[in-house]
Structure 1
Amino acid sequence: MSVAPPEQTPQPPRPSPVRRILDAALRVAGGLIAVVAGTVTAVLELLLAPLRIGGYPIGVAVLVAVVANAALSWFAIETVGSRWAVALPALPWVVIMVAAADRTSEGDVLLIGNWVGFVLVVVGAMTFAVMAFRSILAAQPPRRY
């Protein structure tokens, strides 16, 4: 009695070295763009935090933080191709927010001390955390290379 060999699935062809180098370069560029964009959006949110209408703070910086941080997290994960990439825009954002809450030697504070500043930091950080958690729960796509 003869046993048939197991069927083997054909393996996709390996990409050329040039294509692999180009892919790695694009991933690094995407990561750098995510870091720079995280820095820029943090500064933009700090500039929008004291915005008031009729003397009352309106909190538009909080909305910008949610939308921008979610978009940056998605961009970083997609361009770098790894779940940990959500940390690329999150780290400079958190560092800037922590630094903005500290008084300078002259007594200036960049992050205003009302509800907008508090909610901005909490909601912005939570947006990164939720996006990281969602990427952990998502099925890992198969590696192309």
Structure 2
Amino acid sequence: MTVEEATEQPTVAPREPWAGWEKIIRVAGVVVAVLATVITALIELELTTLRSGGLVNLAKGSSPWEGGGVLIPLAVPVAIGANLAISWFAVTVTGRRWALGPPWALWTLLMLAAAGTRTTEGDYLLSDSNWVALVMILTGSLTFAVYSYKMILKPVAVSDSRLSGSV
């Protein structure tokens, strides 16, 4: 053994900066997806009662929730877009397909609770005469279902097990 070989230090591979953070990122991703679900569900429920007269009031500087006219189905595309974004976010950030379940279940429970809750006057929060609310509940839930179905059809990606743990 030469002097140079004796003084040479063994090389250690540098540690990746995010090594060990996978579980924290997954939990944070699910928490953010659940919070986004609550916020967007409440916005969607508010939008189900928006009427054309409310937009006229908004242009005049008044509250958009007062006024008559026909229902504006703005809640339907908002529900579809928001639920698609939440689904994509939950699955992408966590890297797990099961992450779609908590937002989907929470959204469905919030809509069922809103549809079955009576006010102190005896009225339902979402009445059966509000067709926008009924279509929004149907399309919102179908959005989660279609996203889930597309994930089922997509083959499981084989990845480096050192980075992702398990598939």
TM-score, normalisation: structure 2: 0.72
Structure 2 unmatched ranges of 5 or more: 1-13, 54-68, 163-167
In 2: Cα distance, 1:61 partner to 1:105 partner? 21
Paired position in structure 1 for 2:99: 85
Q: CA deviation at 1:41?
A: 0.8
Partners in 2 of 1:81 and 1:33 — Cα distance?
14
Q: Percent identity?
A: 41
Q: Which has the higher contact order (CA 8 A, sep 6+)?
A: 1
Q: For 1:15-26, what aligned pairs fall within 5 Å after superposition?
A: 19-26=18-25
User: 5 Å matches for 1:27-106?
Assistant: 27-54=26-53, 55-104=69-118, 106=120
Superposition deviation, residue 39 in structure 1: 1.1
Shift of 1:80: 1.1
Alignment RMSD (CA, Å): 2.1
Larger Rg computed on CA atoms: 2
How many pairs are equivalent? 132
Q: 2:124 aligns with which of 109, 113, 125?
A: 109
Deviation at 1:17, TM superposition (A): 9.3
- 2:145 aligned partner: 129
Q: Which runs of 5+ in 1 are unaligned?
A: 1-14
Q: State the Cα deviation string for residues 8-66 of structure 1 (Å, max 9, x = none).
A: xxxxxxx9698442121111101110111111111110011100104100110001000
1:34, 1:75 within 8 Å by CA — same for their partners in 2? yes
